[in-house]
Chains A and B, each alone.
Chain A
Amino acid sequence: MAGKIIAVKWGYNPNSSSLGVDVTFLLFGMAAISFLTPLVSLFLRGRKPT
């Protein structure tokens, strides 16, 4: 699919005092981008534009 995914912000932040960011994927280093990109692309394709 053309174009690229620039960033993914996972989950909802319930904390009302600051922006909480999921850092769990830092465990996988740059490999996180390699394995998450096709996965996220799949989910993007599975939805219809509104």
Chain B
Amino acid sequence: MRTFRYERFGGIVQLERPRALVFVDRDRARALGYRDQERWLQPPPEGELGLLSAPLEAHLQLTNRCSAGCQGCYTGASPDGAPQEYGESDWRRVIDALAAQGVFHLALGGGESALLPWLGDLARYARARGLVPNLTTSGLYSDHELERLIGWAPLFGQINVSLDGIGDGYRQVRGVDGFAQADRAIVRLRKVHKFVGINCVVTRQNFDSLAEIFGYVKKRKLREIELLRFKPSGRGRRVYESLRCTDAQHRSLLPAVLKLARRHRLRVRLDCSYTPMIAHHRVKPELMAWLGVYGCAGGDLLVAAKATGALTACSFAAPTEVRADRIADYWQRPDAFSTFRQWRSSEEPCRSCDYLKLCRGGCRVVSAHTLHDAARPDPECPRVVDFRAQQPVRLHLPLVADASANANANAND
């Protein structure tokens, strides 16, 4: 396992127990025994981390194969998968490149990557290259495939099963009745692995069931629950308006989940797109920074690769023109990940927001879908909602040619 990575601000120490990435300044790094290095010749960035030397983690969509057919699937997965998907040897090459860059963690997903007969070998390979592989799985597969995954389970740092509701609540969000299968996978995996949790996509349908979902996590003796904002991506675009949370739900999310975390004594994670909803509660920026609560981390703290190996800023973003195994060449390019790295030039109300350095304008994917411009402030951020409500009403009728140009620009991000 990689234990240290030099950065301009100092470095990142990886602890195994407790599991943590600790960001330290140069003086602390020196005190820990790390000697001055080329990266420290330049002055450290002021007031922020600056662009990291590499992402902290990479999200690999190993396949787009999945026969579940969930209505909101953000990758639009299908039983046949994507044309020209990468195979095991291609992904090994990607892992080599990520290891050379100094990436710490992998999040493996799909489609359904547990269907791949070589998943275990790939996880073993990632370990051998110093990366910690982690897995998200649906649990929606045969007994044979589940047994195989159970054999591989110790290779993964953390395994989360996607579970968006309990009983019929699952079907209401996903459009398929998969609760029993997902529950079976959770029970079996938990028997062999200490670090099993759930990923739960929060929608306006299941928001009021969060207490029940937290209760389930506690009952199954799981370690954590990760709450994800519903994104307009893949098949999710079609059902976005009916599934996305309301403004009132977004505003009440943080106190609601912290109350449940306290009641059930559970660790809770929120995905990066929820940072505007955290900032809404005026959490001290220094506390958010210390806990690593950042908004859009695409193309900076994380990168992703599509099933074809195409490098992207995050799993929801359009692919770049480069493959993930060429990340070293691409990372330092001034135009790399374009919109995702341009949050410093955000328009109002982000420009004057105390949280801009942390939040980075909210979720680019939501802005691209809703406003046809990924660079604009996240329209679901409570501050943005309030700001817009105060603006004089004006009719904005974009020319068809303009809208088309914007869409093309977003696709090229």
Q: B190 an interface residue at 8 Å Cβ cutoff?
A: no
A-B contact pairs, 10 of them (CB 8 A): A6-B10, A7-B49, A10-B18, A13-B107, A19-B297, A24-B266, A29-B287, A43-B18, A44-B28, A47-B15
**Is the CB–CB distance between B160 and A14 below 8 Å?**
yes
CB distance from B290 to the nearest CB of A (A): 5
Give A contacts to B, CB under 8 Å: 1-27, 29-30, 32-33, 40, 43-45, 47-50
* Contact string against A for B residues 143-161, beta-carbon threshold 8 Å, 1 for contact and 0 otherwise: 0000000000000111110
Contacts of B197 in A (CB 8 A): 14
**Is the CB–CB distance between A4 and B261 below 8 Å?**
no
Instruction: Determine the interface band of chain B, counting residues with CB < 8 A from chain A.
Output: 35 or more
| A7-B291 CB under 8 A given contacts A16-B61, A16-B108, A17-B59 | yes
**Is the CB–CB distance between B272 and A12 below 8 Å?**
no
**Is the CB–CB distance between B160 and A3 below 8 Å?**
no
Contacts of A43 in B (CB 8 A): 15, 17-18, 20
**Is the CB–CB distance between B301 and A19 below 8 Å?**
yes
Contacts of A48 in B (CB 8 A): 33
Number of A-B contacts (CB under 8 A): 217
A7 to B289, CA, bound (A): 6
**Is the CB–CB distance between B29 and A3 below 8 Å?**
yes
Q: Which of B1-48 contact A (CB under 8 A)?
A: 3-4, 9-10, 13, 15, 17-34
Question: A2, A8, A49: which has the most chain B beta carbons within 10 Å?
Answer: A8
One of B15, B23, B278 near A23 (C-beta < 8 A): B278
| A3-B278 CB under 8 A given contacts A8-B22, A18-B271 | no
Contacts of A27 in B (CB 8 A): 258, 261-262
One of A3, A11, A17, A20 near B20 (C-beta < 8 A): A11
Specify the chain B residue showing the minimal Cβ separation from A16: B109
CB distance from A16 to the nearest CB of B (A): 3
**Is the CB–CB distance between A22 and B31 below 8 Å?**
no
**Is the CB–CB distance between B109 and A17 below 8 Å?**
yes
